[in-house]
Amino acid sequence: MKIKPLDDRVLVETAPQEEKTASGIIIPDTAKEKKHLGTVIEVGTDEELKELVKPGDKVLYGKYAGEEIKLDDKEYILLQRSDILAIIED
């Protein structure tokens, strides 16, 4: 299945969660804090947005932003343009 966002929405694959700390302590699922960054997979149909954000970009988004989706054992989040706080450049 493929998801194609509409208008000013962006489909982002969320960053994987840490399974253990640097010192080797395993973090249980209930204690994991979600990261608020991910990689853009698809960009909606808004032309101005397509110039700003491209597939492959790493983005930082708000804590309570978007709609979470699980598809083919991967976690995604569907964000609106205003939910994206920054593009992370290496």
Per-residue pLDDT tens for 36-81? 889 999 999 999 999 999 999 999 999 889 999 998 888 899 999 9
Mind listing the pLDDT tens digit for each residue in 14-23? 887 666 666 7
Q: How confident is the model at residue 17, as a pLDDT? A: 66
- Residue (of 80, 36, 88, 87) closest to 61 by Cα position: 36
Q: Give a yes or no: residue 29 inside a domain.
A: no
Q: Give a yes or no: residue 25 inside a domain.
A: no
Q: Give a yes or no: residue 24 inside a domain.
A: no
Q: Give a yes or no: residue 75 inside a domain.
A: no
- Bigger pLDDT: 26 vs 89: 89
Q: Kindly state the average pLDDT of the residues 25-46.
A: 79
Cβ–Cβ under 8 Å, residues 64 and 89: no
Q: Give a yes or no: residue 89 inside a domain.
A: no
Which residue segment(s) compose the domain that 55 sits in? 1-16+34-67
* DSSP code, position 83: G
Q: Give a yes or no: residue 63 inside a domain.
A: yes
Q: How confident is the model at residue 31, as a pLDDT? A: 57
Q: Give a yes or no: residue 1 inside a domain.
A: yes
Cβ–Cβ under 8 Å, residues 79 and 51: no
Tally of domains within the chain: 1
Cβ–Cβ under 8 Å, residues 48 and 10: no
What per-residue string of b and e applies to 10-35 under the rule 16 or more CB within 10 Å gives b? Answer: bbbebeeeeeeeeeeeeeeeeeeeee
Which residues have CB under 8 Å from 13's CB, separation 6+? 38, 39, 41, 74, 75, 76
pTM of the model: 0.80
Q: Give a yes or no: residue 84 inside a domain.
A: no
